[in-house]
């Protein structure tokens, strides 16, 4: 579903490339987490996979970049919208402002795609249910909490039925309740297996509980790639400038003290309990 | 649902159920009529005989009167005083201390106020009884560019957010006693540097908002559909054309006179 | 036509409601602080300078129509044409590189203010009888007291208020544009006049 080969990208006027000979392949239906230190190129990757690089940000792009069967540099942004979805950090900026109610806001993208009215209603209803907003259809989008707004942004994307959904730190500006809700709904989406999800996140414990695979970006290239527990427990994490979860650190300490075996290190509380038990 | 800073008041009334363009046509024609109708009294007549009953039909009469008063009264007061008292070479009608009210000034003020009353109240009637987003959709269905609809509706919704940010600045200044203690120069010097960061931070959001819009296929060229269906009827369509046809007739009649 | 369409990329389009909201929010703030300026065109001038004359004109036009027809302050609506010209001039000054020198910025503001006063006067005189119900009416009273006709009195009021207001507006916009990151300014092809 996603094929990236030797991707190198430099922002206009920048001294060095933001992505450097990056290669990765994501099969359909996979939930893939991307982590990395600040400046590692995570947002750049998100923009590249959704076509905003190169079409919105310009700059120089080399290498192969194919998502959902489309060659990104050769396809217009307007064509990509609907097939590839993007959710980012700031909930407020993702509300278009062009619609007065939550239901109409979700329908906005579908109207632009020229979908028939009956189908718009169907898709909106199921997207709103999937994100737990079905009781707020008449509310003004600006009357929502930060977490609700972010779920609205996700619902608006889901209604467009993208084959690939890219989320760039969707819970960064949310409190713990908001974060939990977003991950819950993403998990429900992932379980349908119909959408390939690429999620950039910092919250390692959430990633471990929910991603099929973790990619570590460092200075524009791939530093590690594998199942969550393997990657999040390895030393590659620190090499890429990231801090492992406290449970991982505690487990490592336990290993050093000979209190635990060399099993895959835990990342979450549940895994830690199991590890030490 | 809140609708930004629009004046719209939801009511279960026939006026509200009218197609948005019907109400817009009325406001447009009354705008022309305000300049084309003869004498000062015709405007007041239209206000009393057309606009007030319509407001009553729309179940918004108290709010309508309040909004009209708030907009027109300060203006009328200023007009009557300034043009009434200071009309050069006018014929005095009453004494007000050292100054006198001139007949020509009062007549002028009466005519101008009537005109403003008619225009302001017809557009307030429109604003109070019509959802701005539905008005924009109605216009878009007639070929109005969707970019303009986007601008109008989005502005209406985000203005309160910016008013809030500005209010925060105001409150901060007030807590420093600036409004009461500060002289003009001090107020300016304290305020102006706060405007620049307010605007800068707002502009940096613009890039993300553009990305969000593109991700929702806003830039797509093909035909777009609409979730909202506006109720319309043949009768209303005829009514709209009739109302709009009045405008050039009034204009000609006004010019001939 | 193609040039006009190029001016209205999504970025410009999204900027316009933000600019109009800035017009309204700052204009109201200034009013409530009883400062004898309008400062209700900062957004308009900003769009003109960054995105060109047509975008600036549209911003001014829509700003006044929305501000007026929404009922927030009805007296803005008839001056939509004036606001459009302000945006247009801002775009022309921006393209002409006038915002590269602070003294040219002030001059641009002065000229814009004079043109605004000249166009506003007939609208004010004919639609409103020379009066707007605001504090500036004191000036109108003064000119009328001197024996001036309605149109000259309106023009007198405009010439006294507008140039100063627009000079301050242009200076603020100049400071704002200088404070924008160059990566942002580079997105606007016309902002070559200010970068």
> In sequence order, what are the residues at sequence separation of 6 or more whose Cβ sits closer than 8 angstroms to the Cβ of residue A250?
A272
**CB contact, 8 Å: A11 with chain C?**
yes
Query: According to DSSP H, which parts of A63-138 are helical?
Result: 77-80, 91-94, 102-112, 117-130
How far does the CA of residue A177 sit from the closest CA of chain B (Å)? 24
Mind listing the pLDDT tens digit for each residue in C71-122?
788 889 999 999 999 999 999 999 888 888 889 999 999 999 999 999 999 9
**Are A167 and A34 spatial neighbours (Cβ–Cβ below 8 Å)?**
no
Mean pLDDT of C32-38: 82
Residues of B in contact with A94 (CB under 8 A): 208, 212
Do B240 and B208 share a structural domain?
A: no
Q: What pLDDT was estimated at residue B6? A: 80
Do B154 and B121 share a structural domain?
A: no
Return the higher-pLDDT residue of B88 and A126. Answer: A126
Q: Give the separation between CA B235 and CA B224, rounded to whole angstroms.
A: 27
**CB contact, 8 Å: A97 with chain C?**
yes
**Are C27 and C8 spatial neighbours (Cβ–Cβ below 8 Å)?**
no
**B3 located within any domain:** no
Backbone angles phi, psi at C189, to 5 degrees: -60, -30
**B79 located within any domain:** yes
* pLDDT, block means (10 residues), chain B with 257 residues: 73 90 92 85 91 93 93 88 78 75 83 90 92 90 88 93 85 70 72 82 89 92 87 88 89 80
**B1 located within any domain:** no
Contact state of C21 with B162 under an 8 Å Cβ cutoff: yes
Q: What pLDDT was estimated at residue B117? A: 92
Residue of chain C with shortest Cα separation from A77: C10
Do B241 and B208 share a structural domain?
A: no
CA count, 13 A, side-chain hemisphere, B240: 14
For the stretch C1-9, contacts whose Cβ atoms lie closer than 8 Å and that sit 24 or more positions apart, written own/partner, are: C4/C54, C6/C189, C7/C51, C7/C52, C7/C54, C7/C55, C7/C190, C8/B147, C8/C54, C8/C55
Do B209 and B96 share a structural domain?
A: no
Contact state of A50 with B215 under an 8 Å Cβ cutoff: yes
**CB contact, 8 Å: A16 with chain C?**
no
Question: Mutation test of the interface with chain C: which of A14, A97, A142, choosing the one with the most C Cβ atoms within 10 A?
Answer: A97
Contact state of A13 with C186 under an 8 Å Cβ cutoff: yes
Do B91 and B51 share a structural domain?
A: yes
Do B211 and B91 share a structural domain?
A: no
pLDDT over 80 (residue C133): no
**CB contact, 8 Å: B150 with chain A?**
yes
Contact state of C144 with B86 under an 8 Å Cβ cutoff: yes
Q: What pLDDT was estimated at residue C72? A: 81
**CB contact, 8 Å: B23 with chain A?**
no
Q: Which of C17, C182, C186 sits opposite A97 (nearest CB)?
A: C17
pLDDT over 60 (residue C3): no
Residues of C in contact with A11 (CB under 8 A): 183
**Are C14 and B206 spatial neighbours (Cβ–Cβ below 8 Å)?**
yes
Q: Give the separation between CA B135 and CA B127, rounded to whole angstroms.
A: 10
Among residues B3, B233, B257, B254, the alpha carbon closest in space to that of B130 is found at B3
**CB contact, 8 Å: C121 with chain B?**
no
Mind listing the pLDDT tens digit for each residue in A65-90?
999 999 999 999 988 998 999 999 99
**B220 located within any domain:** no
Q: What pLDDT was estimated at residue B180? A: 56
Mean residue pLDDT of chain C comes to 87
Residues 157-216 of B with CB under 8 A from C: 158-159, 161-163, 165-167, 169-170, 173, 179, 184, 187-188, 191-192, 195-196, 198-200, 202-207, 209-210, 213-214
**B181 located within any domain:** yes
Q: What pLDDT was estimated at residue B2? A: 53
Q: Are strands A196-200 and A213-218 parallel, antiparallel or unpaired?
A: unpaired
Do B64 and B100 share a structural domain?
A: yes
Residues of C in contact with B162 (CB under 8 A): 18, 21-22, 24-25
Across-strand partners of A4?
A: A24, A65
Domain of B25 in residue numbering reads as 14-131+230-256
Q: Give the separation between CA B149 and CA B156, rounded to whole angstroms.
A: 11
Contact state of B216 with A86 under an 8 Å Cβ cutoff: no
Structure tokens at A224: 């590690």
**CB contact, 8 Å: B214 with chain A?**
yes
Among residues B148, B144, B75, the alpha carbon closest in space to that of B112 is found at B75
Tell me how far apart the 2 most distant CA atoms of chain A are, in Å.
Answer: 64
Residues 131-160 of C with CB under 8 A from B: 131-133, 137, 140-141, 144-145, 147-150
Structure tokens at A154: 């996700």
**B140 located within any domain:** no
**B201 located within any domain:** yes
Structure tokens at B3: 């609708």
Do B85 and B127 share a structural domain?
A: yes
Q: What pLDDT was estimated at residue A136? A: 95
Q: Which of B67, B81, B154 sits opposite C71 (nearest CB)?
A: B67
Residues of B in contact with A48 (CB under 8 A): none
* C30-to-B166, B173, B192, C24, C87 alpha-carbon distances in Å: 10, 12, 10, 10, 20
b/e A28-62 (16+ beta carbons within 10 angstroms → b): eebbbbbbbbeebbbbbbbbbbbbbbbbbbebebe
To which H or E segment does residue B94 belong?
Answer: strand B92-96
Contact state of C18 with B159 under an 8 Å Cβ cutoff: no
pLDDT over 80 (residue C136): no
Mind listing the pLDDT tens digit for each residue in C52-74?
999 999 999 999 999 988 878 88
pLDDT over 90 (residue A248): no
Do B113 and B194 share a structural domain?
A: no
Q: What pLDDT was estimated at residue B80? A: 85
Q: What pLDDT was estimated at residue A142? A: 92
Across-strand partners of A10?
A: A60
Do B243 and B196 share a structural domain?
A: no
**CB contact, 8 Å: B96 with chain C?**
no
Q: Give the separation between CA A144 and CA C138, rounded to whole angstroms.
A: 45
Mean pLDDT of A203-208: 87
- B partners (3+ CB pairs within 8 A) are A, C
**Are C16 and B151 spatial neighbours (Cβ–Cβ below 8 Å)?**
yes
Do B246 and B125 share a structural domain?
A: yes
Residue of chain B with shortest Cα separation from C25: B163
Residues of C in contact with A97 (CB under 8 A): 17
Contact state of A77 with B219 under an 8 Å Cβ cutoff: yes
**Confidence class for position C33, pLDDT limits 50, 70, 90:** confident
Neighbours of B164 (CB within 10 A): 10
pLDDT over 70 (residue C32): yes
Do B183 and B92 share a structural domain?
A: no
**Confidence class for position C191, pLDDT limits 50, 70, 90:** low
Structure tokens at A44: 């750049």
**B165 located within any domain:** yes
Q: Are strands B99-102 and B92-96 parallel, antiparallel or unpaired?
A: antiparallel
Q: What pLDDT was estimated at residue A95? A: 95
Return the higher-pLDDT residue of C1 and B223. Answer: B223
How far does the CA of residue C14 sit from the closest CA of chain A (Å)? 9
* Structural domains of chain B, count: 2
CA count, 13 A, side-chain hemisphere, A138: 1
Report which DSSP code applies to A2. E
**Are A208 and A232 spatial neighbours (Cβ–Cβ below 8 Å)?**
yes
Q: What pLDDT was estimated at residue B182? A: 65
Q: Give the separation between CA A26 and CA A213, rounded to whole angstroms.
A: 9
Residues of A in contact with B202 (CB under 8 A): none
Mean pLDDT of C16-21: 96
To which H or E segment does residue B159 belong?
Answer: helix B146-175
């Amino acid at each position: 579903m996603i094929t990236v080969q030797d991707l190198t990208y430099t922002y206009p006027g920048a001294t060095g490339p933001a992505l450097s000979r990056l290669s990765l392949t994501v099969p359909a239906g996979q939930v893939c987490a991307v982590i990395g230190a600040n400046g590692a190129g995570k947002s750049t990757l998100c923009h590249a996979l959704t076509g905003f690089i190169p079409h919105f940000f310009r700059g120089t792009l080399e290498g192969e970049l194919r998502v959902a069967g489309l060659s990104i540099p050769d396809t217009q942004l307007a064509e990509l919208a609907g097939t590839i979805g993007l959710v980012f950090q700031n909930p407020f900026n993702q509300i278009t402002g062009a619609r007065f109610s939550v239901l109409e806001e979700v329908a906005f993208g579908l109207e632009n795609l020229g979908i028939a009215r009956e189908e718009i209603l169907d898709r909106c209803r199921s997207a709103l249910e999937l994100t737990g907003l079905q009781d707020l259809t008449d509310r003004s989008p600006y009357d929502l909490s930060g977490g609700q707004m972010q779920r609205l942004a996700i619902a608006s994307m889901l209604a467009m039925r993208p084959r690939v959904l890219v989320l760039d730190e969707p819970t960064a500006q949310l409190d713990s309740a908001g974060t939990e809700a977003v991950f819950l709904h993403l998990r429900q989406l992932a379980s349908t297996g119909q959408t390939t999800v690429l999620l950039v996140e910092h919250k390692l414990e959430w990633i471990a509980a929910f991603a099929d695979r973790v990619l570590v970006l460092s200075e524009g290239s791939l530093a590690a790639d594998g199942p969550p527990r393997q990657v999040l427990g390895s030393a590659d994490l620190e090499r890429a400038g990231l801090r492992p979860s406290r449970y991982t650190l505690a487990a490592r300490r336990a290993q050093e003290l000979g209190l635990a075996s060399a099993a895959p290190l835990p990342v979450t509380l549940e895994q830690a309990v199991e590890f030490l038990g | 649902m809140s609708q930004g800073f629009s004046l719209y008041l939801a009511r279960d009334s026939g006026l509200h159920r009218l197609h948005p363009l019907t109400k817009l046509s009325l406001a447009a024609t009354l705008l022309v009529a305000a300049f084309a109708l003869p004498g000062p009294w015709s405007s007041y007549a239209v206000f009393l005989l057309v606009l007030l009953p319509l407001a009553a039909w729309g179940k918004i009469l108290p709010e309508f009167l309040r909004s009209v008063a708030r907009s027109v009264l300060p203006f009328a007061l200023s007009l009557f005083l300034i043009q009434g008292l200071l009309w050069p070479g006018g014929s005095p009608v009453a004494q007000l201390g050292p100054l006198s009210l001139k007949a020509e000034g009062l007549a002028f003020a009466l005519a101008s106020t009537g005109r403003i009353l008619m225009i302001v109240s017809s557009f307030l009637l429109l604003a109070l009884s019509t959802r701005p987003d539905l008005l924009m959709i109605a216009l878009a269905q007639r070929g109005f560019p969707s970019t303009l609809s986007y601008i109008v509706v989005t502005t209406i919704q985000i203005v309160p957010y910016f008013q809030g940010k500005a209010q925060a600045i105001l409150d901060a200044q007030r807590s420093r006693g600036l409004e009461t203690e500060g002289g003009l120069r001090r107020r300016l010097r304290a305020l102006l540097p706060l405007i620049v960061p307010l605007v800068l931070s707002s502009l940096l959001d613009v890039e993300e908002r553009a990305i969000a819009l593109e991700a929702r296929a806003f830039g797509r060229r093909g035909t777009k559909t609409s979730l909202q269906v506006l109720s319309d009827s043949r009768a209303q369509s005829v009514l709209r054309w009739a109302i709009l046809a009045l405008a050039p007739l009034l204009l000609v009649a006004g010019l001939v006179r | 036509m193609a040039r006009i369409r190029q001016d209205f990329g999504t970025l410009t389009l999204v900027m316009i409601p933000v600019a109009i909201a800035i017009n309204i929010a700052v204009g109201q703030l200034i009013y409530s602080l009883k400062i004898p300026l309008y400062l209700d065109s900062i957004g308009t001038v900003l769009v003109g300078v960054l995105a060109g004359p047509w975008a600036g004109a549209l911003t001014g036009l829509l700003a006044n129509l929305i501000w007026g027809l929404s009922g927030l302050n009805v007296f803005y609506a008839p001056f939509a044409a004036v606001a459009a010209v302000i945006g247009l001039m801002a775009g022309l000054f921006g393209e002409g590189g006038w915002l590269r020198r602070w003294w040219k910025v002030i001059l641009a503001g002065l000229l814009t203010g004079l043109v605004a006063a000249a166009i506003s006067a007939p609208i004010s005189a004919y639609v409103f009888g020379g009066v707007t119900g605001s504090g500036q009416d004191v000036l109108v009273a003064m000119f009328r007291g001197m024996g001036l006709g309605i149109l000259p009195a309106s023009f007198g009021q405009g010439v006294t208020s507008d140039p100063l207001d627009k000079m301050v507006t242009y200076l603020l916009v100049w400071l704002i544009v200088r404070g924008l990151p160059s990566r942002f300014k580079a997105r606007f092809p016309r902002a070559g006049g200010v970068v």
